[in-house]
Amino acid sequence: MRVLVIGSGAREHALVLAVAEDPSVTAIACAPGNAGTSAVAEQLGVDAIDPDAVTALAKDWKADLVVVGPEVPLVAGVADGVRKAGIACFGPSAAAARIEGSKAFAKDVMAVANVPTAHCEVVDNPAHLDAALGRFGPTWVVKDDGLAAGKGVVVTTDFDVARKHALMLLDGGHPVLLESFLDGPEASLFCFVDGRTVVPLLPAQDFKRVGDGDAGPNTGGMGAYAPLPWTPPGFVDEVVETVVRPVVDELVARGSSFSGLLYAGLALTSDGTQVIEFNCRFGDPETQVVLALLRSPLGKLLHATATGKLAEHPELDWEDGAAVTVVIAADGYPGKPRTGDVITGGELEGVLHAGTRRRDDGAVVSSGGRVLSVVGVGKNLKAARKQAYATVERVHLAGSHHRTDIALRAAKGEIATPVA
């Protein structure tokens, strides 16, 4: 099987590495890829958000399976174009990808499917903003209704900060979603879906804030770990039955059947598990830890999902133990990152590339905000953390920064779900 992966981040590097371990895969390409994926996959140039360009590339390269990593190409209809050409594609249609592309659409789906989620209100006119903000708080959750790469959300107890962010979004032509604040720890659950069949993966937790102790602004994600030792018994089965399956069935009822990876962002609150958001693809950086623990051949699993044969796939096999990933970010991130700095240690085991490129002289340099994702695996979270941070210390990127507390509270047993 010839597999073409679309994307250029650490998620795609993790996908490429996992697919390469599948004996049924005979060739792998990544477009546009990065300096890390170039070591294990053929690099191909493409405009990843152009359905015609991706489809033409898949046909020219004779791909048997196209795997679309990021959300923007999916919302743009890349999977539709590839499937129309008769090529199997892992990733939902543009219609189904609205579950991430429009938070208002996702809220409507959840309301009809009776899925527990935060109370919300959409504001598309600045004249209505203050009255709407007055109906929320004392902690305000203000979101961009569209795609924002994890950075369009502000959670604050300061009314003025909430109002400023909302006005910025509205001034840019983006509707604003106000939500009630959900207490309790957060979790991410990935599920393979091929229309109606749902196969969950291990739950994970990511860290959105840029600094230790969840300080500073939101980012695309500064680290993650899996599994979650603090979740209650039966957690995954409960989420599948009360959250994922009802949404999958509602999308079918709307003529927007979902095929690919459905990601549920969850809060384990004092009122039970509630949905924060849905994504239409593998999350980054959670993918890096979940795939590090997956033993089942990934190529076959992706192909079964893309071809509607997920129900026939064997039960998933997992490594014992835990995985932790730590993101190394460029100076300036999550604002404007500094780029072009030389990276040393990028070839070490467990180091996944995101914002990197290889110069003509062969040096690997930074080319984005989140530059590397360092993965450690061990018998438990403490051991996985130790391995990940030991590797981080061997990587050098001038001016870079990373969190030092990824999975720390979980490793110490300090996370508990609220009691109603």
pLDDT (tens digit per residue) in 80-116: 999 999 999 999 999 999 999 988 899 999 999 999 9
Q: Which residue has the tokens 């390409």?
A: 29
How many angstroms separate the CA atoms of 237 and 214, rounded? 29
pLDDT per position as a tens digit, 199-219: 999 999 999 999 999 999 889
Containing H/E element for 5?
strand 2-7
Average pLDDT for 71-82: 97
pLDDT per position as a tens digit, 252-297: 999 999 999 999 999 999 889 999 999 999 999 999 999 999 999 9
In DSSP terms, which residues pair with 209 in a beta bridge?
218
pLDDT at res. 138: 85
Amino acid making up residue 233:
P
How many helices (H) does the chain have, and how many strands (E)? 14, 24
In the chain, the percentage of residues whose pLDDT exceeds 70 is: 98
How many angstroms separate the CA atoms of 337 and 335, rounded? 6
Could you check whether the bond before residue 227 is cis, i.e. omega within 30 degrees of 0?
A: yes
Q: Which residue has the tokens 């060739």?
A: 27
pLDDT per position as a tens digit, 338-357: 999 999 999 999 999 999 99
pLDDT band with cut points at 50, 70 and 90 for residue 181: confident
* Structural domains in the chain plus CATH codes: 2-90 (3.40.50.20), 120-179 (3.30.1490.20), 183-312 (3.30.470.20), 322-411 (3.90.600.10)
User: 13: closest CA among 398, 327, 382?
Assistant: 327
pLDDT at res. 419: 59
- Backbone phi, psi, residue 140, to 5°: -100, 135
pLDDT at res. 279: 96
pLDDT band with cut points at 50, 70 and 90 for residue 153: confident
Question: Which tokens hold the place of 308?
Answer: 């509607």
Containing H/E element for 29?
strand 27-32
Top pLDDT among 30 and 155 is at: 30
User: 31: closest CA among 23, 18, 42?
Assistant: 42
pLDDT at res. 149: 56
In the chain the first and final C-alpha atoms are separated, in Å, by 50
174 pLDDT more than 90 = no
151 pLDDT more than 60 = no
**CA-to-CA separations, 6 to 34, 54, 316, in angstroms, rounded:** 11, 8, 24
In the chain, the percentage of residues whose pLDDT exceeds 90 is: 84
In DSSP terms, which residues pair with 366 in a beta bridge?
356
Distance of CA 65 to the CA centre of its chain: 21
Query: In this structure, are strands 2-7 and 65-68 parallel, antiparallel, or unpaired?
Result: parallel
3-class DSSP assignment, residue 68: strand
User: 332: closest CA among 307, 294, 365, 368?
Assistant: 368
How many angstroms separate the CA atoms of 68 and 66, rounded? 6
Containing H/E element for 266?
strand 259-269
Q: What is the chain's Cα-based Rg?
A: 20
pLDDT at res. 119: 84
pLDDT at res. 309: 97
367 pLDDT more than 80 = yes
**CA-to-CA separations, 45 to 4, 31, 50, 76, in angstroms, rounded:** 12, 6, 12, 18
- Backbone phi, psi, residue 81, to 5°: -65, -45
pLDDT at res. 50: 97
How many angstroms separate the CA atoms of 280 and 263, rounded? 6
pTM for the model stands at 0.91
DSSP state of 318: B
Alpha helices for 294-357 (secondary structure H): 298-306
pLDDT per position as a tens digit, 12-49: 999 999 999 999 999 999 999 999 999 999 999 999 99
Q: Is 400 exposed, middle or buried (0-12, 13-18, 19+ CB in 10 A)?
A: buried
Full DSSP string of 190-227: EEEEESS-EEE---BEE--EEEGGGEEEE-S-SEEEE-
Mean pLDDT of the chain: 95
Least confident stretch, 66-75, 146-155, 344-353: 146-155
